[in-house]
Homo-oligomer: A and B are copies of this chain.
Amino acid sequence: MENKTAVITLSALAQESRLSIFRTLVQVGPDGMAAGKISETTGIPPSSLSFHLKEMTYANLVNSRQESRYIYYSANFKVMNELLGFLTENCCAGVPCGIESHCCDEKA
């Protein structure tokens, strides 16, 4: 993952409406939720929701599929896991540090 990609992914999460949408989709699981229902659940008006879903789609944070007249959106965790890897990359220049609450804990 590149720096710019990571910024796009993070920006897609760093907004109250979008974070609510994302968490709603995480909790509902892989089948996802129709746009209208997301609007209802989160209280975000359809046009605002559409704007945010577009951003999240661009960031590859959500997947969508059409089913009859509904469009179901679901969370994409692959990208989020990649993001975490990117953030901790080359921690302490690769030398395990063993300090509590620091990234290298996980490798130590």
Write the residues of chain A forming the contact surface with B, with a CB cutoff of 8 angstroms: 3-4, 6-7, 10-11, 13-16, 19-20, 22-23, 26-30, 75-78, 80-81, 84, 87-93, 95, 97, 99, 101-103, 105
Contact = CB atoms under 8 A, between A and B. Distances in A.
- Determine chain A's interface SS by DSSP, over half rule: helix
A27 B78 CA distance: 24
Contact of A20 (B3, B75, B87, B95): B3
Nearest to A30: B99
Contacts of A84: 80, 84
Given A19-B6, A102-B77, A92 B11 contact: no
A75 B95 CA distance: 15
